[in-house]
């Protein structure tokens, strides 16, 4: 994924139920085309394949399990994500945590399927720890700021700066995203100035009355 990147997690908001996931993905694609900014979307699992087959921007799963095809009822395997035309997956989101050992296995399984992985973390220490597994990205998000109106870049800039250092120390090829409360262009600019290579965000776009304008505002200073 080209950086700086803006990754929009649709979560399970009712605003993206059913066909509205594709509508929002097409809006994100329109902004990507008009601005040239790298934008990826993470629709709910039940819409993943439909969205991935109908947009050109990268589509990522919100979660993946360390399971192989076969007897795995209800689990989400790397192989089914690859077959859906999605390009990769979030892992260990603060709303869908995995055990450390499962993160390691899932990153490796995703890599063998040609999928990108973005491992979410809640601290500098956990960012450094998961970077040893060499995912494509680590996304640091202090849980207490998620869904709020104060950006991590204002509330705790040190966590972004220090997570960049921790990740690069573990594996210089891993890129850091940050998220939580990112709602405006100035927040994205601050994230990049702190050393992040993009942002992971949700409510600022998904719950906006005008997602097109909100996303334009978010990317305007990149």
Quick check: 181 binds ligand G3P (CB under 6 A)? yes
Tokens representing 91 are: 């892992």
Nearer to ligand G3P, 146 or 160 (CB): 146
Closest contact distance (angstroms) between CB of 61 and ligand G3P is: 13
Quick check: 40 binds ligand G3P (CB under 6 A)? no
Nearer to ligand G3P, 92 or 203 (CB): 203
Among 182, 192, 196, 215, binds ligand G3P (CB under 6 A): 182
**What is the three-state SS of 33-102?**
HHHCCEEEEECCHHHHHHHHCCCCCCEEECCCCCCCCCCCCCCCCHHHHHHCCCCEEEECCCCCCCCHHH
Nearer to ligand G3P, 28 or 200 (CB): 200
Among 204, 211, 217, 219, binds ligand G3P (CB under 6 A): 204
User: Rounded to an integer, what distance in angstroms lies between the CA atom of residue 114 and that of residue 70?
Assistant: 20
Q: Determine whether 29 is exposed, middle or buried from the number of CB atoms within 10 Å of its CB (0-12, 13-18, 19+).
A: middle
Active-site annotation, residues: 93, 141
Handedness of CA 77, 116, 190, 22 (dihedral sign): negative
Nearer to ligand G3P, 64 or 201 (CB): 201
Of 86-115, which residues contact ligand G3P (CB under 6 A)? 93
- First-to-last alpha carbon distance for the chain, in angstroms, is 16
Handedness of CA 146, 196, 100, 122 (dihedral sign): negative
Interface size with ligand G3P, residues (CB under 6 A)? 14
Closest contact distance (angstroms) between CB of 202 and ligand G3P is: 4
- Give residues in contact with ligand G3P (CB under 6 A): 9, 93, 141, 146-147, 179-182, 200-204
């Amino acid at each position: 994924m080209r950086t700086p990147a803006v990754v929009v997690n649709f979560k399970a908001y009712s605003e993206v139920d059913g066909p509205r996931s594709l509508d929002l993905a097409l809006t994100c694609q329109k902004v990507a085309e008009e601005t040239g900014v790298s934008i990826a979307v993470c629709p709910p699992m039940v819409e993943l394949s439909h969205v991935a087959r109908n947009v050109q921007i990268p589509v990522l799963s919100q979660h993946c399990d360390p399971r192989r095809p076969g007897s795995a009822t209800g689990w989400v395997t790397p192989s089914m994500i690859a077959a859906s035309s999605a390009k990769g997956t979030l892992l260990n989101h603060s709303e869908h945590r995995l055990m450390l050992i499962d993160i390691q296995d899932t990153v490796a399984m995703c890599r063998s399927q040609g999928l990108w992985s973005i491992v979410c973390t809640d601290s500098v220490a956990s960012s450094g720890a998961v970077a040893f597994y060499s995912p494509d990205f680590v996304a640091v998000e202090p849980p207490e700021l998620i869904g709020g109106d104060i950006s991590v870049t204002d509330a705790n800039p040190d966590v972004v700066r220090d997570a960049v250092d921790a990740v690069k120390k573990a594996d210089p090829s891993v890129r850091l995203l940050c998220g939580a409360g990112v709602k405006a262009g100035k927040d994205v600019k601050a994230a990049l100035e702190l050393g992040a290579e993009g942002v992971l965000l949700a409510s600022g776009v998904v719950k906006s009355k005008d997602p097109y304008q909100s996303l334009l505002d978010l990317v305007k200073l990149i």
